[in-house]
Amino acid sequence: DVKVTQSSRYLVKRTGEKVFLECVQDMDHENMFWYRQDPGLGLRLIYFSYDVKMKEKGDIPEGYSVSREKKERFSLILESASTNQTSMYLCASTPGGYGYTFGSGTRLTVV
C-alpha cells in the first residue's frame, strides 16, 4: 500500500527551538508539498518541491524552510519556532495531474 509517512503525530516544542518535520513517500512522486491547517481555514501551502533539490515558496513561507536532498524525503524546518506556528502540518505528494496522497499529519504545539 502506497503511503506518505510523517515522522511524528504529535510534537511539543519550546519557543525559539529549531524544529524538523520529516516526510517520506514511497511512490516515486516528483511533487511534494507542505501545508498547515488551522481551524476555519483551508489548507495553506507553505512550500513545495517539483524535484530533488528544488523548492518553491507557497503562500505562507515566512518562518519556514525546506530541504529535499532525496526524491522520497521532503523536510520542513521551523528555524525558530514561535507560538503562531502551532498548527497541524500535512505533507502530501502527487505524480502530477492526479489526486494527492497525504501523510497523517503532525500536530505541533509551540509553548
Partner 1 sequence: ILNVEQSPQSLHVQEGDSTNFTCSFPSSNFYALHWYRWETAKSPEALFVMTLNGDEKKKGRISATLNTKEGYSYLYIKGSQPEDSATYLCAFAGDGNYQLIWGAGTKLIIKP
Q: How many residues bind partner 1 (CB under 8 A)?
A: 26
Q: Does residue 97 interact with partner 1 by CB under 8 A?
A: yes
Three-state DSSP state, 55? coil
Q: Which one of 14-22, 45-53, 62-70, 76-84 is the stretch in contact with partner 1 (CB under 8 A)?
A: 45-53
Strands 64-70 and 87-94: unpaired
Burial track 32-47 (b if 16+ CB lie within 10 A, e otherwise): bbbbbeeeeeebebbb
Q: Does 101 bind partner 1 (CB under 8 A)?
A: yes
Residues making contact with partner 1 (CB under 8 A): 4, 31, 33, 35, 40-45, 48, 50, 58, 90, 92, 94, 96-105
